[in-house]
Amino acid sequence: MHRLFQQKHQPRAAELANANAITSEASTARAAESANAAASAANLVEITATQAGAGLDVSGAYVAPTTSNYHDAASTLADADMKLDAAIKAVDTAYLAADATLTANVATNTSAITALDTRVGANETDIAFIQNNTDAAALDSLTEIVNAFTNADSTLTGAVAANTTQVALNVAAITAEETRALA
């Protein structure tokens, strides 16, 4: 009988252990499903925010901006990148051309400045020669010209003074002769 009791109750103990294991596994599965659902919801929120931040709608389709300078007409993120790349390349090409022009203009201006410096130096030498030259055969210096005018002015001033005196003497002589002749 004991054996019979054991045989009868043994399956029941195994069934009970199986039932407990299934209940535990079901509880673990429900917790995992709940965690997965929460993670999936969080991922969906993050994906939606990432898509919106990247210019995509909820379905993942590209939404072109309407107020941009270069990619309003873009149909995908890759197309928007290419439109920006083309715009940047155009600016780079224009910059390189402007830089080449500027470099050429600087070189031209440097040459012109050097030529002007040479001419200024020559003019300074000529001016110094005109101011200070004492070579009788060469063009009179400015100093010599000023001295000549000063001397001529002195001579003229002396001649005018002498003539004024002579005129005064002549007037006195004429007056005296007139007085004598009328007397």
- Residue 5: inside a domain, yes or no? yes
Same domain flag for 59 and 109: no
- Residue 68: inside a domain, yes or no? no
- Residue 39: inside a domain, yes or no? yes
Residue 109 pLDDT more than 80?
A: yes
Same domain flag for 59 and 1: yes
Same domain flag for 127 and 143: no
Same domain flag for 54 and 108: no
The mean pLDDT value of the chain amounts to: 86
pLDDT 10s digits, 26-77: 999 999 999 999 999 999 888 888 888 888 888 888 888 888 888 888 888 8
Looking at 5-9, 19-23, 148-152, 170-174, which range is the least confident one? 5-9
- Angstrom distances, CA of residue 169 to CA of 98, 116, 117, 159, 178: 86, 64, 64, 15, 14
Q: Are 51 and 60 in contact (CB under 8 A)?
A: yes
What local confidence, expressed as pLDDT, does residue 121 receive? 94
List, in sequence order, every residue forming a beta bridge with 56; answer none if it has no partner: 62
Residue with the two structure tokens 């005129």: 167
Residue 1 pLDDT more than 70?
A: no
Same domain flag for 46 and 86: no
What local confidence, expressed as pLDDT, does residue 11 receive? 61
Residue with the two structure tokens 């928007």: 80
Same domain flag for 53 and 78: no
Q: How confident is the model at residue 87 (pLDDT cuts 50, 70, 90)?
A: very high
Look at the chain and report how many structural domains it folds into: 3
Same domain flag for 3 and 56: yes
Q: Give the domain extent around 79.
A: 73-132
